[in-house]
Chain A
Amino acid sequence: MAFHATATRRLMTEYKQLSTQSLDDSMFTAGPINEQNLFEWEALIQGPDDTPFEGGVFAATLSFPKDYPLAPFKMKFTPPIFHPNVYEDGNVCISILHPPGDDPMMYERSSERWSPVQSVEKVLLSVISMLAEPNIESPANIDCAKLFRIDRRAYDDKVKQSVIDLLGVDEADLHDTSTADK
C-alpha cells in the first residue's frame, strides 16, 4: 500500500524527531501508544503559563488516517477538557486539522487547513496556543464560548477547577506542592 508505506515512514520520522528533542522544557510529549501501531498516538500537553490551564497536564489521543500526511489526523482529549474549541466528547476543532479542500460554508480559508507541511509538532503547538487564546468565532463548545465571552472570570474559575479536578488533588495540596517547589 503506497499510502500506508509513506504514512509509516513519515510517522516514524516525526516520532524520531520528537523523541530526540530534549523533553525538559518542551510543552508537550507525543508518541505511539504501542510501537506496533504507529497510527495511534498519545500526547501529553502542559497547560500554558499565565492561562487558567496553567499547571494542568492534558492527555490526548491522536489517530492518524492511513493516508497521512495527505489527510489530517484527529485529536481527542481524553478526558475531555473545558475549552471553547473542544467538543464535549474531547475532539479538538482547529482549522489546521480540517481536511484540505474548499469549505462549503466558505468559513475557513484553505490556507488555514491541513496540508502535509503541518506535522504533529506544529499542530500540538497550535493547540497549546489555542488553549491560551480560544477562537470564539467558531466554537465547538457553545456554552463554554459564551461563558468565555460574557464572564471571563467565571470561565477562568471553571477551567481552573476542571484542571484541579483532572489532576485529582485539592487546592490545598496544589498550593503546598507549589510552595514546596519554590
Chain B
Amino acid sequence: MTLKLALYGLITIASTIGVISSAFRSYSNFYAVVVYLSNSNGASLILGNFALFTGLCIGKVIQKVLFGELRTLEIEHLYERSWYGFTEMILAMTMFRDDFDLFYGLMFGFLFFVKVFHWLCHDRMEYMVQYQNASRLFVIRMSVVLAGLLLADISLLSVCIFDIYINGVTMIILFASEYAILLADAVTSTVRFGVNLVDLRSGQAWEEKSLYLLYIDLFSDFWKLCIYTAFFGVMAASFGLPLNLIRDLVITARSFTMRVKDLQRYKSATQNMDRLYKAATVAELDAMSDRLCIICRDDLVHASQHPGPWPSGLDETPKKLPCAHIFHRHCLKSWLERQQTCPTCRTSVIPSAHTETNESRRGATREAPRPEPRRQDQQREAARDPSSESRTSGASTSATPTGSGEASATTSSHAGRFSSSSTSRMSGTSAAMQQHPMSRLLHIPSVTLPIIRPESRSLPSTYWRDMYRNAARATTSNIPSIVTSDVSTEATTAETVPLPPSPPASTPQSGLSVDTRLSSLLDAQSNINKAIEDLVDVVKDTNKRDRRSSDGDKTATDADTKRARID
C-alpha cells in the first residue's frame, strides 16, 4: 500500500515538475507560464493529479496523527462508502446545468475529504463502544477530530448559504445540503461521544443511557429528514425532480418512523415495568430448576437475600413476566427495548397487546382455522427439542445444569402454550361449524356439519371421527323421522337434544305422492352419500370401520323406510 502510494507520488511529482519546467523553458515570463498551465488541458490534468496527491498526503497525515492505525473494518467501510458517496455525488451533479469548473472541483474534493473523516469518526465511535476504549490519547484525538469536523461543517455550511443568498440557487445548494447532513452527523457523534465518555468514565452502568441514545438517534434522523425534505423541495421547485435523493429521503423517513415506533413501544413496555411486572418472590425463585437469568446467564437473587446495592450497579431485582418467566430487571428492560415479548416463550408482555392478539387470533380461527398447521409444527418442534437436546448431550456431555434446565423450561413453556392455545382452538372451531348447506337441503335442522376447508385437515383425527359419528347418527336418526310418523319425529328430537323439531315440509301431511317423496328421499340419500364421501376423504385412515358400520345401519334403515312407504 505504502509502496504503491510512494510510486504514485513519485510519478505525480515527476510529471508535475516536468510540466512546470517545460512551461518555464518555453515561456519567458511568469505570467505567460501561468496562462499556459491553466489553459492547456494536459497541464491542468497533471496539476489536478498533483492536487489530488497532495490531498491524499494531507489526509494520510491527519489520519496518522488523529486516528492512528486504521482497523481493517474501517478501511473496508471507507472503500465501500467512498464508492457510494462518489457515485451519488456524480449523479446529483447531473441535475445542475452549471459548468463544472475549478471552483466546484475544489469544493467537491474538499467535501469528499471532510466526508471521509466523518465516516472514520463514525466507525471510531463504534470502536469506542465495542472496545470500551476511553484512554486519554483516544479522548484527546476524538475531541480534536470532532471539534475540527464541527468547525469545518459549520463554516462551510455558512459559506454555502451565504453564496446561495448572494447568487441564488446554483450547484452550491448541493454542497449546502451535504454539509448540513454532515453537521447533523458530527453533532450526533459529538453527543454520542459525550454520552459514551460519561458512561465509561463513571465506571458504573448507566441504565438510562439506551434511552438517551434512542433520543439522540431520533433527533438526528429528524434533522436529516428535515434537511432532505427542504433540499428536495428546493430542488424540485427550481430544477426538477431530484431522482437521486428519493432513496435517501425514503431511507431516512423510514428509519425515523421506525425510531418513533420503537420509542413508543419502548415507553409502553418499560415505563410501567414495576407496575406491570411483579418482583419474583423467594418461593418462586426456589421453584426454578436453575436460578439463572436466561439473558445474562447470571444468578437471580431475591432482594431480601442481597442487602445493599447490586454489585454491578444495575437493578438486578428478579422480575416476573405474565408468562411466569423470571429475569433481572435490567436484562429484561434492555430486551424489552427491542422486543416486547418474553425472551423465553415469546408471549407478548404488553397486557393490552396481549389480549388484542388473543382476540384477533380467535377471530382468525372463526373465519378459517388457519393457524392449525403452525400449532402442529410447534408441537412437533416441542417434541423434537428434548430429543435433539438429549441426542446432543449424549454426544457432547454438554448437559450442564443450565443447558438441560433451560431446555426443560423451554419445552414446558411450549407445552403450556400449546395447551392454552388448543383450548382457544376448540372454541374457535365450534364457531367454525356453521350450518352445513346440506342440512338445509335435507331439512335436517341444525345438524352441525363442519365445513371442510383444506387448512382444517390437520385437526386431530379423533375430532373428525367424533364429528362424523355425530353427523352420521343425526342424519340416520333423522331420515326415518322425515318419512315415518310425527310421533317418531318427536321421539328423535327429544332424544337428540340440540335438534329442534323437523320442518313440516317433509312430514307426511304435506300431501305429496309416494313417488315424489321417494325420489326426494333418494336425492337426499345421494346427497348424504356425497357428504359422507367428503368426510371419509378426510378421515379415511382412521375410521374405516365406522364408515362400514354406519353405512350398513343406514342402508338397513333406508330399506326399512322404503318398505314402509311402499306398504
Choose among B199, B206, B398 the residue with the greatest number of A CB atoms under 10 Å from its CB. B398
Chain A: CB-nearest residue to B402: A17
Can you pick out 19 interface pairs between chain A and chain B where the beta carbons lie within 8 Å of each other? A1-B132, A2-B205, A2-B206, A5-B205, A9-B296, A9-B298, A21-B396, A21-B398, A25-B397, A27-B396, A69-B295, A69-B296, A110-B346, A115-B339, A115-B343, A116-B331, A116-B343, A121-B398, A125-B388
- Whether a CB of chain A sits under 8 angstroms from the CB of B440 is no
Contact, CB under 8 Å: A4 / B129: yes
Measured CB to CB, the closest approach of chain B to A63, in angstroms, equals 10
Q: Please, how many angstroms separate the alpha-carbon atoms of A22 and B393 in the complex? A: 11
Determine which of A10, A22, A100, A128 lies in contact with B297 in the assembled complex, contact meaning CB atoms within 8 Å. A10
Interface residues as binary, A58-69 with B (CB distance below 8 Å gives 1, 0 otherwise): 000000001101
Candidates A13, A70, A111; contact of B334 at CB < 8 Å: A70
B341 CB contacts on chain A under 8 angstroms: 100, 110
Q: Which A residues, 26 to 53, have Cβ-Cβ distances below 8 Å to chain B?
A: 26-28, 37, 39
Q: Which residues of A contact B378 (CB under 8 A)?
A: 111
Residues of A close to B296: CB separation below 8 A: 6, 9-10, 13, 69
CB-CB < 8 A to B335: which residues of A? Answer: 70, 116
Residue among A4, A5, A37, A71 making CB contact with B312, cutoff 8 Å: A5
Which residue of A2, A14, A110 contacts B314 across the interface (Cβ within 8 Å)?
A2
Cα distance A7–B297 in the bound complex, in angstroms: 10
> Is A79 an interface position by the 8 A CB rule?
no
Chain A residue, CB-CB nearest to B334: A70
CA distance A87 to B403 in the complex (A): 30
Nearest 10 CB-CB pairs, A to B?
A: A26-B396, A116-B295, A13-B297, A2-B205, A116-B343, A66-B130, A125-B392, A115-B343, A100-B339, A10-B296
- By CB atoms of chain B within 10 A, which of A26, A111, A121 has the most? A111
CA distance A182 to B400 in the complex (A): 32
- Is B565 at the interface (CB under 8 A from chain A)? no
Say yes or no for B330: interface residue by CB 8 A criterion: yes
A14 to B294, CA, bound (A): 12
B residues 139-165 with Cβ under 8 Å of A? none
Interchain CB contact under 8 A, A66 and B346: no
**A4 and B406 contact, CB distance less than 8 A:** no
Known: A6-B296, A70-B295, A101-B338. 20 other contacts (CB 8 A): A1-B129, A2-B206, A2-B314, A3-B210, A5-B205, A6-B334, A9-B297, A17-B400, A25-B396, A26-B397, A28-B396, A66-B129, A70-B334, A70-B338, A100-B338, A101-B339, A109-B374, A110-B346, A115-B343, A129-B388
Most chain-A Cβ atoms within 10 A of its Cβ — which of B126, B343, B388?
B343
A119 and B402 CA atoms in complex are apart in Å by: 11
- The 8 Å CB contact of B209, one of A1, A13, A115, is A1
- Report how far A133 CA is from B61 CA in the complex, Å: 53
Q: Are B395 and A25 in contact, with the CB atoms below 8 A? A: yes
Q: Is the CB of B294 within 8 A of A117?
A: yes
Q: How far is the CB of B415 from chain A (nearest CB, A)?
A: 14
B: contact size bracket:
35 or more
Residues in A whose Cβ lies below 8 Å from that of B200? 1
Residue of A nearest to B293 (CB): A116
| Closest residue on chain A to residue B314 by CB atoms | A2
Q: A21 CA to B398 CA in the complex, in Å?
A: 6
Interface residues of B in 91-136 (CB under 8 A from A): 126, 129-132
Give A66's nearest chain B residue, CB to CB. B130
Residue pair B344, A13 in contact (C-beta under 8 Å): no
Q: Which residues of A contact B395 (CB under 8 A)?
A: 25-27
User: Which of A6, A13, A115, A117 contacts B331 (CB under 8 A)?
Assistant: A6
**Which positions 391-424 of chain B face chain A at CB distance < 8 Å?**
392, 395-398, 400, 402-403, 406, 410
Task: For chain B, residues 276 to 315, give those with C-beta under 8 angstroms from any C-beta of chain A.
Answer: 294-298, 312, 314
Q: Report if B367 contacts A (CB, 8 A).
A: no
Cβ-based interface call for B177 (8 A): no
Residues of chain B contacted by A5 (CB below 8 angstroms): 205, 312
Q: Is B76 an interface residue (CB 8 A)?
A: no
Is B207 located at the chain interface by the 8 A CB criterion? yes
Residues of B within 8 A of A109 (CB): 374
Decide: B314 and A22 in contact? CB cutoff 8 A: no
CB atoms of B398 and A26 under 8 A apart: yes
Chain B residues within an 8 Å CB radius of A111? 346, 378, 381
Rounded to whole angstroms, the CA-CA distance of A6 and B199 in the bound complex is 14
Q: Which of chain B's residues has its CB closest to A6's CB? A: B296
What residues of chain B lie closer than 8 Å to A26, measured between beta carbons? 395-398
Q: Which residues of B315-374 have CB atoms within 8 Å of chain A's CB atoms? A: 330-331, 334-335, 338-339, 341, 343-344, 346, 374
CB of A114 to closest CB in B, whole Å: 10
Does B196 touch A at the CB level, under 8 Å? yes
In the complex, which residue of chain A has the Cβ closest to the Cβ of B295?
A116
Question: How many Å lie between the Cα of A9 and that of B338 in the bound state?
Answer: 20
Q: How far is the CB of A122 from chain B (nearest CB, A)?
A: 8
Q: Is there an interface contact between A2 and B297, defined as CB atoms closer than 8 Å?
A: no
Contact B297–A117 (Cβ < 8 Å): no
CA distance A3 to B128 in the complex (A): 13
Give the contacts of A10-25 with B (CB-CB under 8 A). Answer: 10, 13-14, 17, 21-22, 25
A16 to B395 CA separation, bound complex (whole angstroms): 19
Which residues in B have their C-beta under 8 angstroms from that of A128? 392
* Chain A residue at minimum C-beta to C-beta distance from B406: A117
How far in angstroms is the closest Cβ of chain A from B325? 10
Q: Is the CB–CB distance between B131 and A37 below 8 Å?
A: yes
Q: Please, which residues of chain A bring their CB within 8 A of the CB of B312?
A: 5
Given A1-B129, A22-B397, A25-B397: A115 and B344 within 8 A (CB)?
yes
Contact between chains at B205 and A21 (CB < 8 Å): no
Set of chain A residues within 8 Å of B346, measured between Cβ atoms: 110-111, 115
Please measure, in the bound complex, the distance between the C-alpha atom of A21 and the C-alpha atom of B400, giving whole angstroms: 8
Decide if B129 touches A2 in the complex (CB within 8 Å).
no
- What residues on B are CB-neighbors of A119 within 8 Å? 297
Q: Return chain A residues, CB-CB under 8 Å to B388.
A: 125, 129
B114, chain A: closest CB distance, angstroms: 27
Which residue of chain B has the shortest Cβ distance to A39 in the bound complex? B130
Residues of B within 8 A of A13 (CB): 296-298
Return chain B residues, CB-CB under 8 Å to A71: 338
Are A116 and B294 touching (Cβ within 8 A)?
yes
- A2 near B397 (CB under 8 angstroms)? no
In chain B, what residue has the closest Cβ to A64?
B130
Chain A 88-109, CB-CB to B under 8 Å as 1, else 0, gives 0000000000001100000001
Q: A2 to B374, alpha carbons, bound, how many Å?
A: 37
CB nearest neighbor in A for B414: A111
Closest residue of chain B to A2 (Cβ to Cβ) is B205
List the A side residues contacting B330 at CB < 8 Å. 2, 6
Task: Name the interface residues of A108-139: CB closer than 8 Å to any CB of B.
Answer: 109-111, 115-117, 119, 121, 125, 128-129
What A residues does B207 contact at CB under 8 A? 2
**Distance of A148 Cα from B364 Cα, bound (Å):** 38
